[in-house]
Amino acid sequence: MKITSSLMTPSKSKSGALFIGFFSDLKFNAIAKEADSLLGKQISQRIKSKDFAGKTGEVLTLFTDSGQRVVLTGLGDEKKCDLGTLQTATTKAIKAVVTTPVKTVNNYLTSLNFKNIDEAVAGKITSIAASHAAYRYEVTKNFKKDNKHNLTSMTVYADKKSAAAIKQAASIATGVETTRALGNLPPNICNPDYLAKQAKDIAKKYDNCTLTILDEKKMQKMKMGALLAVGRGSRNESKMIVLKYTGTKKSQRPHVLVGKGITFDTGGISLKPGANMDEMKYDMCGAATVFGTFVAVAEMQLPINLIMIVPAVENMPDGDAYRPGDVVTSYSGKTIEVLNTDAEGRMILCDALTYAQEYKPQVLIDLATLTGACVVALGHVASAVMSKQTQLPQDILQAGIDIHDRAWQLPLWDDYQKQIDTTFADMQNVGGFAGGSITAGCFLSRFCEDVNWAHIDIAGTAWASKKDGATGRPVAMMAQYLINESNKSK
Ligand code: BES
Ligand code: MN
Ligand code: ZN
């Protein structure tokens, strides 16, 4: 969906639908008054007859004489209205028009005088939420002719001051869509080679982007023994995808994002149970998030240098697959005893993280659907941030609050490290039941000792249910983090 901003008022709008917001006090602002007169006072009537009370998420569609839709949208108690409320209300308003013939929308929710939300932020949140609500997966499904999504663009009511924020939001929304599109693809299409081809397309699209791909032969030469071990059971060749964006002077050290790209996780020889194994197509959502964030940054042309690194590997059982008990030597030289081939994410990430440090990052962040334990700890609400640094995780959490794509920190104290010690190698790849997300983080930390690094476990947030598919989280948080970073260096 195309997102723009303007100060055009309802009487001038030629859009198929207008979104008019109300708090539960049902006061009319100037925009609501104008809409009411366009509607021959239908809004006043519907409020009087108690058909609309302005409750959060409540929507009521009215029609002008010329057939234009006006979607009354409730945002509840003015004092309680926060970013979450605005997100919910926007979603409901879009859902009210998305299966209708409406092609364009004027969104006036931003004309409300929010007590707790900055104007520019409101514009951003409603834009990202609208784009999210308008998306549907279409690649491998045949839709009936009458089941059409016609909505192509939305204009958000905003002044010049907020226009830049809305432009950013449009870029972030494009990034989120990129991530959802990749995440939702079936694993027989979205394999390591497919991801590499997507990176190629991105490199072609933006002048200041360049691509390097390491194939298995190259990675063997480099001795990336941990990553290669995971890929051994698959017919699909493993790839390391390295996409560079130069947005400022070359001397400025890059931000490097690493994303777990397991295009399908069977568990390998430590085979997963059959139930819901299909969901392990989402095990490349760390990679998809990094792709989406990269696209958002390239769209915004932020004045930073950014490198995305995606280890893309399929984890399959096979006669040549790696086994429990194997000891492999990682790219760093550290040895790893494989106790469970289903703890494969950390195996590919450790080599990618070691490699990433060759780019001398000022910040190194990895994103991964790393542990089921993360879903137990934080559910589908918060991504988990882990770091040995003090400032970096705070900056990430703050970005999540800023854009309402939130995360929560788990400790990476040394007290947990002993759970991955072993007699037979420098470390083992599992830490047992207790603190499963943290010991996975501890494993990665052993490869990130002298770098400003954070790990984000997105196992609970990258997808929420089979029906709704990939969420595109936490692209918004990551893009906002990089926006905040680019403002720092100004
Ligand atoms: N990709 C999974 C983690 C996962 C599981 C994410 C379910 C979302 C939902 C990861 O590769 C995995 O299998 N982790 C194991 C680690 C264990 C063997 C230490 C897990 O969480 O069970
Ligand atoms: Mn696994
Ligand atoms: Zn996995």
State the pairing for strand pair 255-259/363-368: parallel
Q: Are 149 and 184 in the same domain?
A: no
Q: Are both 88 and 201 inside the same structural domain?
A: no
| DSSP secondary structure letters along 274-325 | STTGGGGGGGGHHHHHHHHHHHHHHHHT-SSEEEEEEEEEEE---TTS--TT
Q: Which atom of ligand 1 is nearest to the CA of 429?
A: 19
Ligand 1: which of 342, 378, 455, 456 to mutate, judged by most atoms within 8 Å of the beta carbon? Answer: 342
- Say yes or no: 144 and 188 in one domain: no
Inter-residue contact 463 to 382 (CB < 8 Å): no
> Quick check: is 346 catalytic?
yes
pTM given for the model = 0.98
Taking the C-alpha atoms of residue 231 and residue 320, their distance in angstroms, rounded to an integer, is 10
Kindly state whether residue 139 falls inside one of the protein's structural domains.
Answer: yes
Question: Regarding beta strands 427-428 and 261-265, do their DSSP bridges make them parallel or antiparallel, or are they unpaired?
Answer: unpaired
Asked whether residue 73 falls in the same domain as residue 183, the answer is: no
Domain count of the chain?
A: 2
Residue 166 lies in a domain: no
Domain co-membership, 211 together with 92: no
272 is catalytic: yes
Q: Take residue 89 and report the two structure tokens written for it.
A: 């209300």
- CB distance 366 to ligand 1 below 6 Å: no
For residues 75 and 183, membership in a common domain is answered with no
Q: Is the Cβ atom of 438 under 6 angstroms away from ligand 1?
A: no
Q: Which residue has the tokens 């969906």?
A: 1
Bridge partners of residue 364, in order along the sequence? 256, 453
* Residue 356: inside a domain: yes
The rounded Å distance from CA 424 to ligand 1 centre is 23
8-state DSSP, 255: E
Closest C-alpha among 36, 3, 247 to residue 135: 3
Assess if residue 330 is contained within a domain: yes
Same domain, 189 and 337: yes
CA dist., res. 341 & res. 229, Å (int): 9
Angle at 162 between CA 160 and CA 168, to 5 degrees: 115
Pair type for strands 69-74 and 261-265: unpaired
- Asked if 144 and 260 sit in the same domain, the reply is no
Q: Which of residues 158, 190, 208 is at a domain's end?
A: 158
The dihedral built from the CA positions of residue 396, 399, 405 and 408, taken in this order, carries a sign that is positive
Same domain, residue pair 366 and 478: yes
The preferred substitution site among 371, 383, 457 for testing ligand 1, maximizing ligand atoms within 8 Å of CB, is 371
pLDDT tens across the length of the chain (490 residues): 999 999 999 999 999 999 999 999 999 999 999 999 999 999 999 999 999 999 999 999 999 999 999 999 999 999 999 999 999 999 999 999 999 999 999 999 999 999 999 999 999 999 999 999 999 999 999 998 888 889 999 999 999 999 999 999 999 999 999 999 999 999 999 999 999 999 999 999 999 999 999 999 999 999 999 999 999 999 999 999 999 999 999 999 999 999 999 999 999 999 999 999 999 999 999 999 999 999 999 999 999 999 999 999 999 999 999 999 999 999 999 999 999 999 999 999 999 999 999 999 999 999 999 999 999 999 999 999 999 999 999 999 999 999 999 999 999 999 999 999 999 999 999 999 999 999 999 999 999 999 999 999 999 999 999 999 999 999 999 999 999 999 997 6
- Cβ neighbors of 92 (< 8 A, separation 6 or more) are 57, 58, 59, 73
Same domain, 317 and 434: yes
277 HSE (CA, 13 A, CB side)? 13
If asked whether residues 378 and 252 sit together in one domain, one would say yes
Q: Based on the fold, state whether residues 126 and 192 are members of the same structural domain.
A: no
CA 432-438-444 angle, 5° bins: 100
Write down how long the chain is: 490
Note whether residue 168 is domain-resident: no
> Do residues 308 and 291 make contact, with C-beta atoms less than 8 angstroms apart?
yes
The enclosing H or E element of 95 equals helix 83-97
The token pair at 377 is 């700890």
Domain that holds residue 475: 177-488
